[in-house]
Structure 1
Amino acid sequence: MSSLAQLKTIEPSQEFYWGLSPEGFHQLSYLEWGDPRNPKVLICVHGLTRNSRDFDYLARALSKDYRVICPDVVGRGDSDYIGSTLIYNFTQYISDMVALIARIGAKEVNWLGTSMGGIVGMMMASFPKTPIKNLILNDVGMVVPSLAMNRIATYARNDVGFKSLEEARKYFQTIMPNFGIKERSQWDHIARWGTRQDPEGTFKLAYDPAIGQAFLSASSNDIHLETFWHDLKCPVLVIRGQESDLLTPEIVEKMSYLQPQMEVVEIPGAGHAPALMSSEEIEGVSAWLNKT
């Protein structure tokens, strides 16, 4: 069965819950895959300007064994857009994810985070009595180089519109060449869910432009997360795009010194960040989770 055919066999349910910031309450969306009674929970959290639909291929495959939860972080996808750069920060993201875990009623969870979602997971997993029992970091580590962040900032501030999904697909292929995506159907999926159509029929990027402004102010220096990394007690799988400029071999080596039990998988033909859409990538995640 082709990957496109597999994508159509199972559909998630969409749920909503409330988060709270200094600006007031905001509504957050998440997709739920699999049996809601399954105690084996996997939470998948996307990168800076992405959303929950990035995990459709992986979530559909893993929903046979796990209850898979894929949230839209505030300001992305179908969650509320706040429009304030002061709200788009890790303190807010952690608060909203804690509310999500309470909402789904999980006592413990597995966490898979791409880039920003990995940082949120790393922070949460380092806290005492954390509910995160296994952590998968997709192309992010204990140091985030400013050079890579500046590259991301060049497109994170974009507030462009497209006349068609075809035009949007070409845009994403231009700014995301390092995702390691090979199939046309997967690029179509990125374009379909990476945009929202406004009343005038224009396809706009599916995130609040204020996110890019907030990110720009934080991208001038390396982000150091050694304290959180050092305090991790759970098993960790690090996925690295072989050509990544955000998770370099030098950073991985330092991470391994502090957490020698961690495992590393490199994805050939990908940089920052592997899309986790191919059967090989999905099977690697599944095998590691089943082992731990």
Structure 2
Amino acid sequence: MNIAYSLNFVTCSDASGGHRMAWHQWGDADSAHVVVCAHGLSRQGRDFDVLAQSLCQQAIDKGHTIRVVCPDVVGRGQSDWLQDPMGYQVPFYVADMLAMLAQIHLQAPIRELDWVGTSMGGLIGLVIAGQPGLPLPVPVRRLVLNDVGPSIEWQAIVRIGTYLGKAGAFKSLQEAADAMLAVSAGFGPHTTAQWLELSRHMVKPLADSLHGELRLHYDPAIALPFKQATEAATLEGQAALWALYDAIAVPTLLLRGKDSDLLSPATALAMTQRGPKASLVEFAGVGHAPTLIASNQLAAVSQFLL
């Protein structure tokens, strides 16, 4: 499989003078069918390498073209870090995505726009698909929410808070991969090679290190607004998220790790009964969140989008 890849940047505005957001592109740069894949809280866009290449190849096999765009949300991966860490919140991420989509649309007009969002990336997609009047090139055609919904279980937020922002220092990629595996059991089973590849883009050389040490790629300050959340404020925010979800009027696929501690069975069931009445697919032996690498996970997404 030899799918075209490029790293791109878009300049986004903020109160401190602006920042650059990176986005990874797979497939035909001129395709009018764009699929955006948005990652989770402490991850980055290269998490979707396997899914992106699979979608591109399947589109080619069907005689179509497709462009898969995987942003590094600001503060992660190849994107800038913000001067004001309170900008690490979903409304600001949505503004960055609108800037990216406008740039992509200028390069080659978008006629079909799909969104695949894991965890935080799903919340961004929920806003983009559920808030009318946003300056999108075209409305979202299909939405995939990967292990996230309007109601988020508080115990999962507490669990994530125990490790978020601890960038660490690692002597090797393997040591970093082992450390990430310890807090990522919910991702489900992966081969050693798969996990190493998932980990490769999660680290970068530690500045001023004499021994080639590595650290996690993200700005530790992304934890600051996250850790200011309270259980009461989280419950209040859920009403607004449900209103956005109920406003979504496009086909929606909800993926859930059967052992997820973030998306409860009750919330998933409610999501199949209201709003877009999402189709639910669950994966046994997986918690929060499916990585969309296993063949059954790839199949669920590709069959829905293609």
1:145 matches 2:156: no
- Asked whether the equivalents of residues 149 and 219 of structure 1 are also in contact (C-alpha less than 8 Å), the reply is no
SS class of match (1:144): coil
CA–CA separation in structure 2 for the residues paired with 1:155 and 1:107: 40
Tell me the equivalent position of 2:72.
72
Note the C-alpha offset of 1:82: 1.2
CA–CA separation in structure 1 for the residues paired with 2:43 and 2:276: 31
- Asked whether the equivalents of residues 44 and 68 of structure 1 are also in contact (C-alpha less than 8 Å), the reply is yes
Identical positions, percent: 38
The size of the alignment, in residue pairs, is: 283
- Asked whether the equivalents of residues 49 and 76 of structure 1 are also in contact (C-alpha less than 8 Å), the reply is yes
Tell me the equivalent position of 1:3.
none
Alignment of 1:94-113 (within 5 A): 94-105=94-105, 106-113=110-117
Out of 123, 128, 143, the position equivalent to 2:127 is: 123
Note the C-alpha offset of 1:149: 0.8
1:90 matches 2:90: yes
- Asked whether the equivalents of residues 167 and 215 of structure 2 are also in contact (C-alpha less than 8 Å), the reply is yes
Note the C-alpha offset of 1:257: 2.2
Amino acid corresponding to residue 114 of structure 1 in structure 2: T
Amino acid corresponding to residue 128 of structure 1 in structure 2: P
CA–CA separation in structure 1 for the residues paired with 2:218 and 2:249: 33
**Superposition CA RMSD, Å:** 1.5
- Give unpaired runs (5+ residues) of structure 1: 1-5
4+ residue segments displaced more than 3 Å? 219-223
TM normalised by structure 1 equals: 0.93
Q: Per the alignment, do residues 92 and 260 of structure 1 end up closer, same or farther by CA in structure 2, a change over 3 Å counting? A: closer
- Asked whether the equivalents of residues 271 and 277 of structure 2 are also in contact (C-alpha less than 8 Å), the reply is no
CA–CA separation in structure 2 for the residues paired with 1:181 and 1:69: 26
Tell me the equivalent position of 2:286.
270
Q: 1:187-218, CA deviations, whole angstroms, 9 ceiling, x for partnerless residues?
A: 10122111111241221111100001221112
TM normalised by structure 2 equals: 0.89
Note the C-alpha offset of 1:146: 1.7
SS class of match (2:98): helix
Tell me the equivalent position of 1:16.
9
Tell me the equivalent position of 2:253.
237
Note the C-alpha offset of 1:147: 1.4
- Give unpaired runs (5+ residues) of structure 2: 60-65
Which deviates further from its counterpart, 79-88 or 207-216?
79-88
